[in-house]
Amino acid sequence: MTDRRLMIENAAAGVFADPENSKVAARLLAEEIAEEAAGQGVERFSDSVRIAHEQGLLADRTAEFVAEHAGTLDAMIDDAADDRFEYFGLRTVYDRYLLRHPVTRKVLERPQHFLLRVACGLSESPAEAAELYALMSGLAYLPSSPTLFNAGAVRPQLSSCFLLDSPRDELEGIYERYGQVARLSKYAGGIGISWTRVRSRGSLIRGTNGHSNGIVPWLRTLDASVAAVNQGGRRKGAACVYLEPWHADVEEFLELRDNTGEEARRTHNLNLANWIPDEFMRRVEADEDWSLFDPKVTPELTDLWGEEFTEAYRRAEKDGLAVRTVPARQLYGRMMRTLAQTGNGWMTFKDAANRTSNQTARPENVIHLSNLCTEILEVTSDGETAVCNLGSVNLAAHLGPGGVDFARLRATVRTAVRFLDRTIDLGMYPTPEAAAANTRWRPVGLGVMGLADVFFALRLPFDSPEALTLSTRIAEEIALAAFTESADLAERFGAHPSYDQTRAADGVLHVDHYDSAGQGPEWDALRARIARTGLRNSLIVAIAPTATIASIAGCYECIEPQVSNLFKRETLSGEFLQVNRYLVRDLRERGLWTPEIRDEIKRGEGSIQHIAAIPAELKTLYRTAWELPQKALIDLAAARQPYVDQGQSLNLFMATPTIGKLSSMYAYAWKAGLKTTYYLRSRPATRIAQTTVAAAAPAVRPEPAAQAAQSPRAAESPEFTVTDAVACSLENPEICEACQ
C-alpha cells in the first residue's frame, strides 16, 4: 500500500471525530486519480476524450466536438472544483463513473474531465458545455446515473425509467414483454410494468378448455429474467410490478416477497406495488366488501379511472361477474402486512395520478402504473413504453446569506430543463416502443436533493410550519421556472407532438387541480404564455430518490429527512462512515463534541435524544426519520404536490410498525391527495458498529415519534389495529440507481 493510500484510509477512518477528514481524504484521492490518469497519457481533457474514443468508449460525435474545440474546452477544466467533493462522493465517482481502459482498467479521465465529458455529450456548442459543466462541477445540479454513465458514449442510453403497460393476455404478448424488459434492463433502465390485464388463476382457456395458473408463474419467469440481466455489469436489473386490487390473484401477488411458504410461488427480485383506485379506499373507510374479478371477464376496468371506473366496477358486481368477495379492510390489512414485513407492496393511487395528469385529457390516454421508484406517472399502451429522463437540483448549493437564493435556483432549473429536453433527442432507445413514446410526449423529470441540508442550515425542524412554508415555496419556484423554460423551448422548436391531446392545450395546468395553488400574476402570465406557445414537454417535474447522485453532491437525499446522525453506508464501493456535519458544527460551538458525546451517539445508533448534555433545541432540529411524526412528511409532500406534475418517491419510516398504524398512515396519505408512496422503512438501514465504545449501561432511548399515531384516525379507529407486524430491514442501496 502506498503512503498516499494509507493516508486516505486514515483520513476516512477519522471522519466521525472530525468531518473535515472527509475533505482531506477526497483531496488525497483526487491526487491518486490524477496520477493514475496521467499514467494512461491523460493530462488534459482533450487527451482523455481522444484516448477513450480510440478505445471505443466514446462516440464519434463527442470526439469530433472536443477535437474541434479542444483549446476552449481544456481551459474550462477547474481542477480546484475537486475540493467540493466529500470522500464518499469522490470515491463513488472513481469506482463507478470514470471511464476506464478496457484492458488495464485504469481510469482515462479525472473527475472534472468526467463532468465536462457529460456536458459535451449533451451540448451543441462550447458555451452550452460551459453552462452545464459549471452547474455540475459546482454540484448544484446532476443528471441521473444513466446520463452520467452514458452521455457522449457509443451507446448513449440516457433515460432513467421505463414503464411498460400490462402485456396482452396471450402467450405471444407476455413473451414479447419479457423481451422488452430484458432489452431495457440491459441498458441500465429501471423498469415498471403492470400485470393487471393477465387473467387470474382458474380462468378458462378456451383454446384448450383448460384453466389458467394465474399471474404467479408468469411473474416467476419475469423474476428470473430480471435477475439474469445485470445492466452491462454495473448492477443487477431491477423491476417493479404493479397490480390493481380488484384482480382475483391480488392475495397471491401480495405473498410474492414473503420469506415463508411455497418457494415456487415467490419472486425475490421483483418489487411490488398496488395500483389503487379511490373506490377501494372508500370501501376500506366504510368497512364494506370488495369484489375480485378475472381481467379476462372485465378487461375494461384496466383502462378506466375515476367515476367511469367506479360505475363499471359496480356494474360488474351487479352483473354477478365477481370471482369472489372479501372484506375491503381484510385485503387492505394484508397490504399493510406485506409493507410491514417486506417494505414492498408500495401504495400508489390510480385516480389521483390520472385525475391531475397533463397527459390524460383524452379517454384513450391512461396511466396504468408508476415506475421502479414511484415518481414517474406517464401514459402507457401496448405500443408505447413510457420513458423519463431525470436530473436533480441540489438545494444545499443554492443557499445564500439570506436563505435560499431563489433567483439562482430558477436559473439552475431553466438550464436543467433545457438539457433534460436535449437528452430526448440524443438518447438511444433499446426498443421502438420506448422511442415512440418519448418522442411523442417528451416528458422529463426534474427533481431535488438536499432539502434536509436546507432545513439544518436555516435551523428549521422538519415538522415546523416554517419548514412547510419554505418547502412549498421551493416547489412553486421550481415549477414556475421549469414550465417557463418548457414554453421557451416550445417557442423555439415547437410543442411536443401530442400537445393537442393534453390538458395544457385545454387551458388547464397541473396546479389548477388544487385549490389555492398557482395563484398570482406570475402564474396568470405563464398560463397566457403557454396558451400562445404550448409546452415542449408534457410532464416536467418528478422527485426521484437520488441516493447515488446525492452522495456525489455531498448532500442529503431528495426530500428525505436524515435516517441517522451517524451511519455506515454500504455500497458497491465499500463501507463509508458518515456523520451529520451540521450537528458536529453545533456541538463544537458549544464545546460538546467530545469523545464521551461521540460514544453516546454511537450507543444511540445515531440518535441524540437520550443525551442529557445536548440542548433541547438541537434535539428537536436533529431528530432522525424514525423520530419525526410521519404525518409531517406526508403534509410536506401534499403541500408540494400541486407543483410536482408527476410523483414523489416518498419513503415513510416506522421503527416498529403495526397494521393499525400503517393503515391510518396510508389512509392519511390517500386523503391528503398524494399520488404515490415508496418504501416503508421499518428500521435503520445500517447500524453503527459499537466495538470501540467502552462497555457501559446504554442509555434508554425514548420510543421514536414515528411510532406514535400517524393521524387522528389512528387513535379514533381501533378496529384498524389487527396485529403487530414483523419489523424488517431494507438494506439494498443499489435498487433505485436508475432514478439517482
Cell matching residue 100? 476506464
Q: How many CA atoms lie within 13 A of 561 on its CB side?
A: 31
d(CA 84, CA 603): 31
Alpha helices in 239-305 (DSSP H): 250-253, 278-286
d(CA 430, CA 156): 10
Query: Is 371 tagged catalytic?
Result: yes
Residue type present at position 690: Q
Cell matching residue 301? 376496468
Cell matching residue 444? 422529463
Tell me which long-range contacts 59-64 makes (C-beta under 8 A, separation of at least 24). Answer: 59/121, 59/152, 59/153, 59/154, 59/156, 61/152, 62/117, 62/120, 62/121, 62/152, 62/153
Of 120, 138, 112, 141, the residue nearest 416 (C-alpha): 141
386-394 and 141-143 as β-strands: parallel, antiparallel, unpaired? antiparallel
For helices 521-533 and 465-493, give the axis angle rounded to 10 degrees: 30
Strand ranges in 443-527 using DSSP code E only, listed in sequence order: 444-449
Cell matching residue 703? 420510543
**In a 10 Å sphere around its CB, with 0-12 CB exposed, 13-18 middle and 19+ buried, how is residue 207 labelled?**
exposed
Instruction: With H, G, I as helix, E, B as strand and everything else as coil, classify residue 727.
Output: coil
Cell matching residue 280? 377501494
Query: Is 731 tagged catalytic?
Result: no
Of 691, 467, 456, the residue nearest 584 (C-alpha): 456
Instruction: With H, G, I as helix, E, B as strand and everything else as coil, classify residue 352.
Output: helix
> Which is it for the CA torsion 316, 322, 327, 328, positive or negative?
negative
Of 29, 23, 38, the residue nearest 8 (C-alpha): 29
Q: Which residue has the cell 460538546?
A: 592
Of 183, 205, 289, the residue nearest 246 (C-alpha): 289
Q: What count of other Cβ atoms lies within 10 Å of the Cβ of residue 508?
A: 15
Cell matching residue 630? 410521519
- Cα–Cα separations (whole angstroms), residue 453 to 309, 649, 705: 43, 18, 21
Query: Is 732 tagged catalytic?
Result: no
In this structure, are residues 562 and 625 in contact, taking their beta carbons and an 8 Å threshold? yes
Of 450, 372, 435, 475, the residue nearest 142 (C-alpha): 450
Cell matching residue 354? 390520472
Q: What count of other Cβ atoms lies within 10 Å of the Cβ of residue 488?
A: 16
In this structure, are residues 161 and 209 in contact, taking their beta carbons and an 8 Å threshold? no
In this structure, are residues 652 and 633 in contact, taking their beta carbons and an 8 Å threshold? yes
Longest CA–CA span in the chain (Å) reads: 79
Buried b (16+ CB within 10 A) or exposed e, 397-435: bbbeeeebebeebbbbbbbbbbbbbbbbebbbbbbebbb
Which 8-state DSSP code applies to residue 165?
P
* DSSP string of 563-621, one letter each residue: S-SEEEEEETTEEEEEE-HHHHHHHHHTT---HHHHHHHHHTTT--TT-TTS-HHHHHH
> Of the residues 271, 274, 365, 371, which is catalytic?
371
Cell matching residue 390? 431525470
Phi, psi angle pair for 220, to nearest 5°: -60, -40
> Of the residues 373, 388, 555, 736, which is catalytic?
373
> Of the residues 36, 86, 279, 375, which is catalytic?
375
Cell matching residue 216? 404467479
Active-site residues: which are they?
A: 371, 373, 375
